Amino acid sequence: MLPETEVASEAPSVTFADLGLSQKVLSAVTDAGYVNPTPIQAGAIPHALQGKDILGIAQTGTGKTAAFVLPMITRLEKGRARARMPRTLILEPTRELAAQVEENFVKYGKNHRLTVALLIGGVSFDEQEKKLERGADVLIATPGRLLDHFERGKLLLTGVEILVIDEADRMLDMGFIPDIERICKLIPFTRQTLFFSATMPPEITKLTEQFLQAPVRIEVAKASSTGVNIEQKLVKSRSKPWDKRAVLRDLIRAEDAELKNAIIFCNRKSDVSELFRSLVKYEFDAGALHGDMDQRARMAMLSAFRDGKLKLLVASDVAARGLDIPDVSHVFNFDVPIHAEDYVHRIGRTGRAGRSGKAFTIVTKADVKALGAIEKMIGNNVDWLDGDLSTLGDEPEQEERPRRARGDKRERGRATGKDKRSVAKQDKTTESAVAAVAEHDVQPEVKPVLSQESRREAIRHDNAERKSRSDHHGDRRERGRRYHDDLGPAPVGFGDDIPAFMLIGMPISA
C-alpha cells in the first residue's frame, strides 16, 4: 500500500503542547529550552503516539532524534521491562550516533526512570550483559554488536514493541542491510516501526516495503538541496597528497580570521589518519575521527571538538555522519566525495540553524567526473576560489615531494629564514603560497595550540591504532615513502638529533 505522505514545513504556531506528549515529557522539553517543534517533530510525533509506522525522510540537524525519542518515552510510561527482553530497540549505524541518542534519552527522560542500555562495539560485553539482565526499556545498538549479544543467548527480541531504524541510507553504505533484515525478522510483526533516512535509494525503498506497515511518510528536506547560507568554493590542486595537504594548510591559514572550527573530510580512513598527523606536525590544533579508533578515543576527540577545545577535526564520512555538532564555521573537503550525496551531507555540517558557513572543496584533475555529478545533483556550478584546473599550468606533476634538508643543520636554518622572507614578498594567493611551501618547506606561522606533549601523545595514540589495523601491513618501502614525505617541519631545537620517542612508529626510508 502506498504510504500517506506529508511534506512537513515550518509551522511556528505549533507548540510541543499541541502534539499529545505526556506532561512529564513536555516538562523535560521545556527544560531543554524548546518551545516549537521542528517540521519533522510536528509531522511525526502525533502519528508515532498513535502507534503508526513512520517513514521519516530527514537529515541530521532537523531534530529527527527527538521526533522518535519523545513519543517513545511517552509510550513507555505504561508497562515495564523484563530481564533480557528490551521493550524498544533503536538501531544506529555508528557508536557515536548511538551514544548521542542515549544522551537524548537522558535529557528528555529526566522525569522518568527508564533503563537505557547501549550495545556498541569497543565496550566490554560483561557490563552490557548486566544491563540486559536487569531489563531494558530502551536498547540502543549498532547492528553487529546487537547480533553478537543475540548469538550469545543474552537477548530476546520478542518483547520489542517499538523498533527505530535510524540513518538507514548510511546503514546501506556500511553494508548493514543484511543485518537489519535479520534483526527485523527477529522482532514480532505487531511492533511499531519508525524508520528514518536522509535519502531513499532503491535498496532502502525495498526495505521499507518489506518491513513497514502502512507508514506515514514525512519528508522534510530534499537531500540534494544545499543550504543557501553556505558559501561554497572549489580550490584547485595537483593530485599528490602532499600537494593537497599544502593547499589545505594554506586555506586554513587564509581563513584564520573567520575560522571558529572546521571539519575536514577525507574519503578514506587511512587518509584521515595521515592528514591528521601531518596537520599536528605542522602545529595545527587538529584531531581525528575514524572508524578504527577505539571508542574512548573517539568520544574524547568528539567532546573536545564540541567543547571548542579542538579547532580542526579530520573525519571520514562514516565517522562524522549524523553527529550533532552545532555551529561549525567551516567544512573542508580534502577529497571530493565519491558519492555526490555525501557532498550535501558534508557541507551541511556548517551553516546550521540559519548561521552562515563556508565550505571549500579541494579538486584535482582526477576529480572532474565526481565534481560533475555533485554539480548536477545540487543543480548549479560551484565557483572556483582562485581559477579552475586549467590555470594549474602544464608543469608535470612531481613524483615525490621535495625533502627538506635533513643532513645539514645550517642549510635548514638558512633556508627557513630566507624562505620566510620570500613568502612575505609573494602575494597571498593560494597558488603562490602553496608553491612556496612546496618548494621550500617553509615553517608555517601558526601558533601551536596543543602542547608538544599532547601532540606527541596524539601521534602515539594514532600510531598504536595504525599498528593494530590490517591495512597497516603494506609494502614497507611504499609505507616509508608515504609517511616520510610530509613530516612537516622538524621539531625546532633538535636539529637532526631528534629524540627517538618523537619518531615512534614513523617509518623512515633509507
Contacts with ligand AMP, residue ranges (CB under 6 A): 34, 36-38, 41, 60-66, 324, 326
Which residue lies nearer to ligand AMP by CB, 32 or 492?
32
Instruction: Please report how the helices 241-254 and 269-281 are oriented relative to each other, as an axis angle in degrees rounded to 10.
Output: 60
Q: Do residues 193 and 166 lie in contact, with contact meaning Cβ atoms separated by under 8 Å?
A: no
Q: Which is nearer to ligand AMP, 64 or 349 (CB)?
A: 64
Asked if 246 contacts 438 with a C-beta cutoff of 8 angstroms, the reply is: yes
Q: Report, in Å, the least distance between residue 15 CB and ligand AMP.
A: 10
Helix axis angle, 202-211 to 177-186, nearest 10°: 10
CA distance 132 to 123: 14
Closest distance between ligand AMP and the C-beta of residue 224, in Å? Answer: 18
CB nearer ligand AMP, residue 226 or residue 430: 226
Residue 302 burial (10 A CB sphere; 0-12, 13-18, 19+): buried
Least Å from the CB of residue 449 to ligand AMP: 26
The smaller minimum CB distance to ligand AMP, of residues 144 and 326, is found at 326
CB of 289 to ligand AMP, least distance (A): 16
Length of the chain: 510
Are the CB atoms for 254 and 445 separated by under 8 Å?
no
Question: What would the grid cell of residue 264 be?
Answer: 575536514
Nearer to ligand AMP, 51 or 326 (CB): 326
Q: Which three cell numbers stand for residue 365?
A: 584533475
Distance separating alpha carbons of residues 230 and 327, to the nearest angstrom: 12
CB of 499 to ligand AMP, least distance (A): 44
Question: Closer to ligand AMP at the Cβ: 43 or 488?
Answer: 43
Q: Among residues 210 and 229, whose Cβ is nearest to ligand AMP?
A: 229
Give the shortest CB-61-to-ligand AMP separation in angstroms: 5
User: Residue 91 pairs with which residues in a beta bridge?
Assistant: 141, 165
Please state, as a whole number, how many other Cβ atoms lie within 10 Å of the Cβ of residue 187: 18
Q: How far is the CB of 32 from ligand AMP (least distance, A)?
A: 7
Question: Which residue's C-beta sits nearest to ligand AMP?
Answer: 65
Query: CA-CA distances (angstroms) from residue 396 to 37, 234, 238, 247, 403?
Result: 56, 22, 10, 17, 18
